[in-house]
Every structure is written in structure tokens, then in C-alpha cells.
Structure 1
Amino acid sequence: MDLNFTEEIMYTLPFYLGPLFLLASINFFRKQKNYRLNDTLTNASIALGNLGLSFIFLLAVVAVYSLVYSEYKFFDLDQSDPLTYVLAFLLYDFLYYWNHRFHHMIGLFWADHLVHHTAENFNFGVSIRISYFTELTMWMTFIPMAFLGISLEVFLIASYAQIVWAFCIHTKWFKSTPIADKLLNTPSLHRVHHARNTKYIDKNFGGIFIIWDRLFGTYQTELNDNPVTFGVRESFPSFSPLIINSYYLKTIAKKIRLSSSLFEVVCSIFGPPVWLPKKANKSTFYSKTCKIDSKNFKAKDPYLSTKTKWTCFNRFICIIVVFCYLMMNFGALPVLPLIILSVLFFWLCHYNGIVFDGFKIGWTTEIITQILFISFLSWAITSKQPEYLILSTGILACLSLVNYLIYSNKKSQYEENNLDIQQQ
């Protein structure tokens, strides 16, 4: 089994991050505000974590799907027949609707899907803001396609078509599309799905087609007198990918602690997100942001100086380099450096996130980063790895340290803050 993902990285990473940074750059030069640096780099960091884990999880998913198709399929369909493709597209979209709806109805699945909905800016970056563990909760719904005789190749074509469509509809463009809304899940209808407005919650679950929502009573148009406010009712507390991915799990744990029976424990895990155990105080269980009207809700956006933004962008470059090396050599690395690099990747993502949160980072955070870099560097030197790897690791470690020294310079950052405020 090939666990080195060089080809996957070469073909997938530009497709994932290229359009995001192109559109963000255009947004920046036009002085628009739909792509913020904190939000954009958080989306990209979450996407990288999802991408890396998906490469690994998909090996098992593909194996299960192929086994079911080869051994247990009910029908022997002609995989070259256009009607088979039509069936696959329709069936995939139908199953996607229910998979998506289950992710809103079942607490444990919502813990996974919530990551996608925590974005408070609506742009292309939201389409790749996907939980680390999405593949673990998505695959089961689509196994019926294998039983019905749809091959893996046809299944993947149908799924890729849905992925591309999903990328395209995460946009504020196309304000009104009443004709397309009758059949397709349009940007307008998907904006409704991402709203925290009461009227819009749990609406428009469709993938490419919106007909399933019309059939099953979850259809809702975007209303001029009720502008969409993006995000979730309980605003997520951080830009850290680790915190965002684990946030609702803490809510489930809180429900379990308040449960007084096995039934309530089960409901805490698998019940709808709105369900609460009897001992829970409904008025205080969730944060105050739940009670804020959508028209008065403001996206989380702590002020950051220009120098701090540059350090975060530099750190993100480190994140990409570590990620690419890790995934391209995943199967070849011994266990120890594999663990070190994996921890380093997630730690750097978290590091950037808490800086974006506006926290003053202490020396402990950077020491942990340096320990991880030095540990990998020691392995590279003692195992006589190529000089480019040793040199690049040392450069990244130095870059991280310089970033911290710049960020921790209180006087220069204070002056930078005052200068930026005066310029705004």
C-alpha cells in the first residue's frame, strides 16, 4: 500500500489553495473585506489538515467500497453506459442530501460538520474549511451505491462533480437566481444554508440539485427583508484549527456530565444538537452569542498589527512546507520523525490560530515549536538525511524564532498598532 502522497499533493494542493489565494489577493487589492487574513489562513490550515487525513482515511474507504462492489453488488451494470452515469449522479446527490441532513440532526456528526459552518465570512475558503474527520462520517451513506452495482470509478466521477459544484456555490456573487433555484443548489440557496438566522437554520441540504429539499420540506429562498448573517448560533471561540475541530465535542462532554441516565448519555452523543439533558439550564448552557440577533451579530475579528500579520503569514509558509514534506514522505519516514512532523504541523496551525485570537504569546509556545524543530533536525543529522532537508529544517526553525521575537517586541508592536489605527 503506497503511503507516500506525492502525486496527490501535486495535483490537489494547487486546486485547493490556488483559487483561495488568488481571490483573496484580488479582494485585498480592491480593498474589499470578504477575505480577512485571519479567516483565510484559518480556512487554509483546516483544509490542509483535512486533506492529509483524508488521503489516509480514503485508502480504507476505497478498500471497503471496492470489496462491496466486487463481492456483494446486486446488479451488474454496464459502467460505460451513459444511463449508469446518470443514475450515479442522481443517486449520489440523493444520498448526499441525507448525509448532509444527518450531519445537522445527529450531535456526533454535527461535531464534525460544525467546522464547515463556523466561518463568519462566506467565500471560496469556506468550501475547503472541512473537519479533519469528515471522511470517517461521510463514507457510510454512499456504500449503497456499491451494492447497486456502481463501480468505484463512476462513483468517484459523481463525487468529484459534487465537490466542484460545492466549491462554486460558496460565494456572495449571483445575488438573485430565481430560475436556477427551481432545480439547482445555487449560491443564493447555499448562503441560506450557512446562515445563523432563525428562519434559515437547517435549510437547503442539497448538493447539486435542490429538488430533494423541495420534496422533503427543507427548502428556503434567500429573502431581501432578512439578510443572511453567516456562522453558527454559538459563535466559535477561536481561529485555532485544533479548537475549532474539537469545540462541539466539549459541548457533548458537557451534556454527558449533566446526564442522569443512560438514555440521556446516548441522546447527548447522538441526539439533535438542540437537545439538552433535564439538568441543563437552557438559559445558561450556551454562550451569550446564541441570544444575539443576527442583525446585531458581528464576526470575530481581533485587531492585529501589520507586523503580527506578517509573522502569521510566514508561519503559514512553514506550515505548507512541513505539510508537503510530511505527506510526500509519509510511508518512508520512521515512526519517531513521522510523529514529530505531524505534531509540529498541528502545533503550528494552532500557534497561528491563537495569535489570530489576539492572545499575547509567551515564550513557552515558541519553546515547544523549537523543541519540535530541533528534535526533527537531530534525527535528520544522526540518520544522515540529505543536506537540503537539514538546511531547510534549520531555516524554518530560525524563521519561527525570528517571527516570535518580532511578535513579542511589545514596544514596536505598540507603535505599529498606533500607526495602523491612525492610517485607518
Structure 2
Amino acid sequence: MHLNYLALAVPLFLTFIGLEYLVSHKRGKRYFKFNDSIANLSVGIAERLLDMFTVGLFYFVYDYLHRHFAIFDIKQSVLLWVTLLICTDFVWYWYHRLAHEVTLFWCAHVVHHQSEEFNYTVSARITVFQAFVRTGFWAVLPVIGFPPAMITSVLLVHGLYPFFIHTRTIGKLGVLEYILVTPSHHRVHHASNPQYLDKNYGDLLIIWDKLFGTFQKEEDEPVYGLTKPLESNSFLWQHFHFILEMFYSVRAAHSWKERMRIIFGKPDNVDPAAREILEEKFLLRNKSITETPKLNNYVVWQIATTLTLLFLFLLLEHYEPVFIQVCITLLILLTLINCGAIMEQKKWVFYLEYARYLVLCLALYFYWPHPALLCAAALIMVMAFYFQSHLKQRYLRLVYGYTRT
């Protein structure tokens, strides 16, 4: 069978997350919060899902640049594999640093820093936007002359290491603190303490931070998250809030010079009042949220089902028709939006069920294109619309434990 064994990363990472939870619980530490962990996993699921469609594109870009613009004809050898790893890490440092120093890049990277906890689930907070920006930086590697296959292989290894430095269960690592980026170093990077801001950009080697003056040792207990906490579990808002804030600030600017300064200057140039204004317009925050066991159980059930579906989707991708791949992608994305909205206790989550039902019907019709299926699906939808008020009340009671939100 032609299986995609990279799908095994899903259960592997979940195993380490579970182990970290058990270790922290045994030590009496609360390193995990329900809403925070669910939000982190949701972002990670979306990235893994969309990554399936973008990896081929990225490889095509590397291959095209290598064939047409390579400066050197680099052949594979042990020394050159090591050289490529070091070059990859060097490029990462500058990508990561500019992702914090340039508003346009921060729009893609900000999602990674929204969590107010620090554990292995935080490592999942990577978006497809960030993947595109990183590819633009790594495009220099095939131009130098490194073959695309080498680049892809090294990026897989290089991308694995950062997962293990997103933890508070590992202390300082002695002599390794002088060479590698350790959990201690990365805790500093994710902290919002004033002395820790814009420090420790390295991914594998800490030497770049020491060379370029951005190194900071962990001293005071870090406080995690953004300097202005997002305070939202919305899957969509987490992805797009800063993009909207940037556009709001650009629109309010009085000259092209000011607009360019906002887009390509520091994120501090974005109007600090923009978020509150946009939250009032788009987020419609529910200020009386009360968590219930029903709500949490429903979200856990959805995330567990989605992770299982994601694993099977990735593992069997070579056997799935394109139409079914699109249907599964839409179904997973709708579920992630649903989970975020449920944690925000929005009443409109009920209408997302219509969208999920429609996607499921389309997938079933693809495998069984019979008029009877269309008639049955249409009849169920008509009945749902007819009894919508009653169904909505039952749904909200089932999910939240009450009908008013």
C-alpha cells in the first residue's frame, strides 16, 4: 500500500502531549487550560490539513529555482548535509526575527504567540500563512544550489526539533544551553515580560541570537502570550484579527508613506485602538460565558473525531479522490470554526450544522450518485427548516446545557 507515513506525526505528537500533561499533573503544576489547549490544537489541525495541499507547491518552487537560478551545483555529501542544516537554521533566525519586526510578517506569525500557556500544544500554533512566508525566505537555499530533495528532508528534521522546546516540564540543560535552543531559551521567547520581548529567535542553534545581540537568559518567571491578550477562543478571529487591525490602520492613514510604514515597519505602528473597535464590529464578545460539562464534552468529542479523521486523511491521501479531499477539508475547517464558536458560546453555531450536513451529503452523493439520496437529503433539510426553532433550542440545550447564550 502507498501510505503517507508522515501522518504518524499526529499520534506521535499527541502521545508526547499526553505524557507532558501526566508529568505536569504529577508535579502538581497546571500547565494546561482546557480552552487554551483546544484552541492550540485547532490551529495545528488546520495547518496540518492545509499543509497537504501546499507541500507539493513549495517543492515545485524549490525545484524551479534550483533548475533555473542555482549559483552552484551542490552534490550530496555528509558535510553538505550539515552545511545545509546550519544554513537552514540561519535563514530561520532571520525569518523569525523579521516576523516579529515587520507588521506584514507578524500578521502570519502572531497566531503562534497568542497562547497564555506554554506546553507542547503551543507548538501546534502554526498557520498556513506562516508556511508561505517561511518558504519565501527558504527560497534562497535552492538559489545557492542545494537540491530540493535535500532541502525538503532537512526542513522535516529542522521542523521536528521545535516541538520539544515548547515545555515547562524541562529545566535548564547545562552545557547545551550554550549551543542549542533549549526549552528555557524558548520560554523567554514566548514571554511577554518587558525584558524578554523580541529575544531568542533561534530554532535549533542559539549562537545566532548571541552573535546578533538578541539573546536573553531565563531569569524571572515568564508570563506567556501577547502583551495585549487576545481573550478570544474564536478560530477565525485568532487567524485574522491582526490582518484586520493592519488594514484598519492602513485605511485610517493619511499618506502613502504612513501606510508603507504601517505595513513594512514595526507592528507597534498599528493603531492600538484598532482591536477594540474591530472586536465590537466583528467579534460580538459574549461577556457572560459560563463553562459547562456538556460544552466541554462536546468540544472534546469533536476535536477527538477531527484528529482521527485528520490522521486517516493524511495516511490515505493517495487513495482519496480530489473531490473527497475537498469535502474532508471543508468538514474539518467547519468543525474547527464550530469548536471555537462553541467555546465563545455563540448561538449561530447551530447554522454551521447545516453547512456540515451539506458537505456530508455531497461526499455521500459522490460515492452513491442516486436520485433517492438527493430526495432523502432534501426532505431532511426541509424538515429541519420547518422545525428549526425547536431544533435550535434542543441543540443549544444539548451543547451548552441551556438555551440562552
Q: TM-score, normalised by structure 1?
A: 0.78
Alpha-carbon distance, 1:9 to partner = 6.1
1:122–1:170: 8 Å Cα contact kept in structure 2?
yes
Alpha-carbon distance, 1:22 to partner = 4.2
Distance 2:313 2:26 in 1: 33
**Which one-letter code corresponds to 1:131 in the other structure?**
T
Consecutive unaligned residues in structure 2, runs of 5 or more: 278-286, 382-391
Q: How many equivalent pairs are there? A: 375
2:298 paired residue number: 311
Distance verdict in 2 for CA 1:51–1:382, change over 3 Å: closer
2:235 paired residue number: 241
Post-superposition CA distance 1:322-366 (Å, at most 9, x none)? 5456665696143xx665544432222122113223x2x42x422
2:167 paired residue number: 171
* 1:409 lines up with 2:401 in the alignment: yes
Alpha-carbon distance, 1:160 to partner = 2.5
Distance verdict in 2 for CA 1:126–1:310, change over 3 Å: same
Alignment of 1:195-344 (within 5 A): 195-223=191-219, 226-276=220-270, 284=273, 304-320=291-307, 323=310, 328=316, 332-334=321-323, 341-344=328-331
Distance verdict in 2 for CA 1:261–1:402, change over 3 Å: same
**Which one-letter code corresponds to 1:273 in the other structure?**
P
Identity of aligned residues (%): 23
SS in structure 2 at match of 1:410: coil
1:136 to 125, 129, 132: 132
**Which one-letter code corresponds to 1:243 in the other structure?**
W
* 1:373 lines up with 2:360 in the alignment: no
Post-superposition CA distance 1:252-299 (Å, at most 9, x none)? 0221122001122222222210114xxx5x6x55669xxxxxxxxxxx
Distance 2:393 2:181 in 1: 47
Post-superposition CA distance 1:183-235 (Å, at most 9, x none)? 22111111000011111111010111111111111111111xx3210001121
Distance 2:8 2:116 in 1: 29
**Which one-letter code corresponds to 1:228 in the other structure?**
P
SS in structure 1 at match of 2:128: coil
Alignment of 1:355-374 (within 5 A): 355-357=342-344, 359=345, 361-362=346-347, 364-369=348-353, 371-374=354-357
* 1:189 lines up with 2:185 in the alignment: yes
1:61 to 37, 47, 58: 58
Please state which structure has a larger fraction of its residues in helix: 2
1:45 paired residue number: 42
SS in structure 2 at match of 1:137: helix
1:58–1:135: 8 Å Cα contact kept in structure 2?
no
1:46–1:132: 8 Å Cα contact kept in structure 2?
no
Distance 1:145 1:339 in 2: 32
Distance verdict in 2 for CA 1:193–1:384, change over 3 Å: closer
2:101 paired residue number: 105
Consecutive unaligned residues in structure 1, runs of 5 or more: 289-299, 415-424
**Which one-letter code corresponds to 2:107 in the other structure?**
A
Alpha-carbon distance, 1:317 to partner = 3.0
Q: Alignment RMSD, CA only?
A: 3.4
2:23–2:169: 8 Å Cα contact kept in structure 1?
no
1:349 to 336, 357, 368: 336
Distance verdict in 2 for CA 1:382–1:263, change over 3 Å: same
Distance 1:98 1:403 in 2: 49
Q: TM-score, normalised by structure 2?
A: 0.82
Distance verdict in 2 for CA 1:178–1:408, change over 3 Å: closer
Distance verdict in 2 for CA 1:10–1:156, change over 3 Å: same
1:118–1:236: 8 Å Cα contact kept in structure 2?
yes
1:236–1:247: 8 Å Cα contact kept in structure 2?
no
